[in-house]
């Protein structure tokens, strides 16, 4: 991170003045917020309010923040679940930033998980056209996520999700050439377990660090990687690293009762996220990836 802007836990005075201009009132204090994998995050205090600001000096960061903004605003338009309101997205002295409403959060109790389950199901239940994908490519972590539209879910999932990550893993020498299944075997493996499904709006990266519960018990989704896909993808991600209470699943399944093949689909949907983690964070994800590739696509 550039020292001009990120000095210990502080933003530079020039950056603070820029944010003050956007907010129309003086920034009095900034405080580091921990927990981000990709960017530096800050609470920005004015006399009357606190805001949340992410900054990043990588060349693709402005595009990444614009896609995050587009995803949050897309979810907001569904009026099904909360997202922080975006105030600005831009660049100052080569540093990209995303400025939004600060969500003062608490840890989730059983009632909050129940609300989250119902609200996520409401978002997934909206009728959303016939194709899988999205209006533009976006990001999963700092990796590009291809969202080319397909009418067929298996083809979308293989061509836009599994294959690009497998190719990246091969390029990074995290998987050998003989460890990459052919497109044909990927499609066949998926088709064996995928059922007919309608496109649902997905958060796209729903692990426990990407929701928060405000002090009134209202759930908010943050840091999405939205697209239209099978609703079970979001649920598979919630189960990969844990952190969602049982009342979340009980509430969600009132709207989407389990159907045959869910266990296998969960594995195949988690494979995408494991490949992303392999590509972002390295070899500690190799054996989990290898196990699923062998189980479903050998
Ligand atoms: P990154 O994109 O770098 O992974 P995150 O979006 O995950 O960053 O955010 C980093 C930290 O900031 C997390 O701990 C998250 O809970 C918190 N956070 C994210 N958005 C907000 C917000 N609008 N208000 C308050 N805290 C937030």
Nearest CA to ligand 1 atom 8: 36
Q: Are residues 58 and 158 in the same domain?
A: no
For ligand 1, the distance from its centroid to the CA atom of residue 268, given in whole angstroms, is 28
Q: Are residues 117 and 239 in the same domain?
A: yes
Summarize pLDDT for 163-199 with one digit per residue, the tens: 999 999 999 999 999 999 999 999 999 999 999 899 9
- Largest Cα span, the chain: 61
pLDDT in tens, the chain (298 residues): 444 455 445 788 999 999 999 999 999 999 999 877 789 999 999 999 999 999 999 999 999 999 999 999 999 999 999 999 999 999 999 999 999 999 999 999 999 999 999 999 999 999 778 899 999 999 999 999 999 999 999 999 999 999 999 999 999 999 999 999 999 999 999 999 999 899 999 999 999 999 999 999 999 999 999 999 999 999 999 999 998 999 999 999 999 987 777 999 999 999 999 999 999 999 999 999 999 999 999 9
For ligand 1, the distance from its centroid to the CA atom of residue 287, given in whole angstroms, is 29
- The partner residues of 53 in beta bridges, in order of sequence, read 42, 99
Q: What is the CATH number of the domain that holds 90?
A: 3.30.200.20
Q: What Å distances lie between residue 163 and 79, 158, 203, CA to CA? A: 33, 6, 21
Q: Are residues 74 and 132 in the same domain?
A: no
**E strands within 17-148?**
29-33, 40-45, 50-56, 86-92, 95-101, 105-106, 138-140, 143-145
Location of structure tokens 């080569």: 94
Taking alpha carbons only, the member of 280, 294, 268 closest to residue 162 is 268
Q: What Å distances lie between residue 258 and 128, 135, 153, 255, CA to CA? A: 21, 29, 19, 10
Q: What are phi and psi of 145, to 5 degrees?
A: -120, 115
C-alpha–C-alpha distance, residues 275 and 181, integer Å: 13
Q: Are residues 146 and 226 in the same domain?
A: yes
Residue 280 CB less than 6 A away from ligand 1:
no
CB within 8 Å of 16: residues ≥ 6 apart? 27, 30
Query: Could you tell which of 223, 243, 276 is best to mutate to test the pocket of ligand 1, judged by most ligand atoms within 8 Å of the CB?
Result: 223
C-alpha–C-alpha distance, residues 143 and 123, integer Å: 25
Query: Could you tell which of 6, 31, 36 is best to mutate to test the pocket of ligand 1, judged by most ligand atoms within 8 Å of the CB?
Result: 36
- The partner residues of 100 in beta bridges, in order of sequence, read 52, 86
Q: Are residues 179 and 269 in the same domain?
A: yes
C-alpha–C-alpha distance, residues 26 and 28, integer Å: 6
Domain termination residue (choose one: 66, 101, 136): 101
For ligand 1, the distance from its centroid to the CA atom of residue 183, given in whole angstroms, is 36
Q: What is the CATH number of the domain that holds 161?
A: 3.90.1200.10
Residue 296: other Cβ atoms inside 10 A: 19
What's the sign of the alpha-carbon dihedral 281, 201, 270, 83?
positive
Nearest CA to ligand 1 atom 20: 222
pLDDT of residue 6: 53
Ligand 1 atom with minimal separation from the 39 CA? 3
For ligand 1, the distance from its centroid to the CA atom of residue 35, given in whole angstroms, is 7
Residue 100 CB less than 6 A away from ligand 1:
yes
Summarize pLDDT for 231-267 with one digit per residue, the tens: 999 999 999 999 899 999 999 999 998 777 799 999 9
Give residue 227's domain range.
105-297
For ligand 1, the distance from its centroid to the CA atom of residue 85, given in whole angstroms, is 13
Nearest CA to ligand 1 atom 19: 222
- Complex-level ipTM: 0.97
Q: What Å distances lie between residue 180 and 43, 64, 279, CA to CA? A: 43, 28, 14
Domain tally, the chain: 2
Q: Are residues 97 and 111 in the same domain?
A: no
Q: Are residues 171 and 29 in the same domain?
A: no
Q: Are residues 252 and 148 in the same domain?
A: yes
């Amino acid at each position: 991170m550039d020292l001009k802007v990120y000095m210990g836990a502080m933003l530079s005075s020039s950056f603070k003045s820029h944010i003050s201009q956007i907010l129309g009132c003086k920034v009095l204090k900034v405080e580091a917020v921990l927990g981000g994998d990709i960017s530096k995050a800050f609470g920005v205090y004015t006399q009357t309010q606190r805001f949340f600001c992410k900054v990043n000096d990588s060349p693709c960061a402005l595009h990444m923040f614009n896609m995050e903004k587009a995803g949050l605003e897309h979810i907001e338009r569904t009026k099904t679940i909360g997202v922080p309101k975006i105030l600005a997205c831009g660049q100052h002295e080569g540093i990209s930033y995303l400025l939004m409403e600060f969500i003062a959060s608490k840890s989730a109790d059983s009632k909050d998980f129940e609300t989250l389950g119902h609200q996520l199901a409401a978002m997934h239940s909206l009728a959303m056209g016939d194709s899988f994908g999205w209006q533009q490519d976006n990001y999963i972590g700092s990796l590009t996520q291809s969202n080319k539209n397909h009418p067929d879910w298996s083809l979308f999932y293989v061509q836009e999700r599994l294959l690009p990550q497998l190719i990246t893993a091969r390029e990074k020498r995290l998987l050998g050439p003989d460890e990459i299944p052919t497109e044909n075997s990927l499609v066949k493996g998926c088709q064996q377990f995928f059922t007919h499904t309608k496109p649902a709006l997905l958060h796209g990266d729903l692990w426990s660090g990407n929701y928060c519960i405000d002090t009134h018990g209202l759930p908010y989704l943050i840091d999405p990687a939205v697209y239209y896909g099978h609703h079970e993808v979001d649920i598979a991600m919630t189960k990969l690293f844990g952190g969602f209470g049982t009342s979340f699943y009980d509430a969600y399944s009132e709207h989407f009762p389990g159907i045959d093949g869910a266990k296998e689909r969960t594995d195949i949907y988690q494979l995408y996220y494991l490949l992303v983690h392999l590509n972002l964070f390295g070899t500690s994800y190799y054996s989990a990836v290898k196990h699923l590739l062998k189980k479903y696509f050998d």
